[in-house]
Amino acid sequence: MPRALIVIDVQYDFCPGGALGVADGDTIVPGINRRIEDAPVVILTQDWHPAGHLSFASSHPGKAPADMIDMPYGPQVLWPDHCVQGSHGAAFHEDLLTDPADMIIRKGYNPEIDSYSAFFENDRETATGLHGYLQSRGISRLMLVGLATDFCVAYSAEDAAQLGYDVQVDISLCRAIDLDGSMATAKARMLAAGVTLLD
């Protein structure tokens, strides 16, 4: 089975001007589209939070975006309100080729648990269902691209490697938030998990 392409969170809120805009986040869309056109299997992920999600700073009086909080499942960064279900910011970038997608997986819909990874929520145990989907299609090799490198891409890549997938991340088709050295940490964690980084 050839390598499946997983495109992480190419949504307006992660593009410049969005609620959690990543610098140059939109510039990777044409390159991702070329990959989509060539990939035998295409999966898109979509960050998809209910209003009032507990990862939003606005849900915690006195807290601001980038503050940390202790959740029952561990430390959690607080974010600006973003990717609220049905909002423009939650929509895929209009230039992204979504028609060829075999599967669109949404995550972050649990009001009390964030979900960076496409495989598990941030409690690291509630499954999104993507692993079952890939297993039942016999897919064992993955290529990840998208936003943001140091959060959703890195967590997805690390989980995939730990689940036994052969994982490549094309860093040239990702862009990072880079909060307090998060990019360096994410790179180190991906490498330690056995992820291959291409750039």
Residues that bind ligand VGL (CB under 6 A): 9, 14, 47, 79, 116, 147-148, 151-152
The least CB distance from residue 9 to ligand VGL, in Å, is 4
Which among Zn ion, ligand VGL, none contacts residue 170 (Cβ within 5 to 8 A by kind)?
none
In angstroms, the CA 171 to CA 182 distance is 15
Cβ within 8 Å of residue 72, ≥6 positions away: 123
Residue numbers 24-53 binding Zn ion by CB under 5 A: 47
Closer to ligand VGL by Cβ: residue 15 or 36: 15
Laid out side by side, the sheet with 103-107 consists of: 103-107, 42-47, 4-8, 141-147, 166-175, 196-198
Compute the Cα dihedral for 17, 18, 23, 28 and give only its sign.
negative
Catalytic residue among 9, 26, 81, 159: 9
Which among Zn ion, ligand VGL, none contacts residue 92 (Cβ within 5 to 8 A by kind)?
none
Radius of gyration of the chain from Cα atoms?
16
8 Å CB contact between 36 and 42: yes
8 Å CB contact between 118 and 6: yes
Residue 38 falls in the annotated catalytic set: no
Residue 9 falls in the annotated catalytic set: yes
Residue 107 falls in the annotated catalytic set: yes
Catalytic residue among 47, 107, 114, 150: 107
Which among ligand VGL, Zn ion, none contacts residue 148 (Cβ within 5 to 8 A by kind)?
ligand VGL
Closer to ligand VGL by Cβ: residue 162 or 182: 182
For residue 148, cis peptide bond before it (omega within 30 degrees of 0): yes
Task: Just list the catalytic residues.
Answer: 9, 107, 152
Q: Which residues bind Zn ion (CB under 5 A)?
A: 47, 108
